[in-house]
Amino acid sequence: MNRIVATMVAGLIAAGAATAARADQPGADWMPAEQVRQKLMQAGYSQITQLKADDGHWEGEGVKNGQKMDFHADPKTGAITKEKPDD
């Protein structure tokens, strides 16, 4: 009985990991990453060092006004929805 439970738990963990990996992919209706980079540059970023899909938005790091920043961008418009200095 314990083997069956252990096998079921392992299967559930593997299924959860696969689902989480798929969740961090840009959606079909998302603005392409290159266009998001262009929007960020228009918003004052001089450098984008990281840009990835994460939890339903674009997330990344860059340099704005000489300061390293973390930001979130709307997946469909590329507009900045959150930004803060990188710690």
* Whole-number Å distance between alpha carbons of 70 and 87: 9
Q: What digits encode the pLDDT tens for the residues 65-87?
A: 999 999 999 999 999 999 999 98
Best CATH choice for the domain 2-85 from the list 1.10.3470, 3.10.450, 3.40.50, 2.30.30: 3.10.450
pLDDT at residue 55 above 50? yes
What are the extents of the domains in the chain?
Answer: 2-85
Q: What digits encode the pLDDT tens for the residues 30-45?
A: 999 999 999 999 999 9
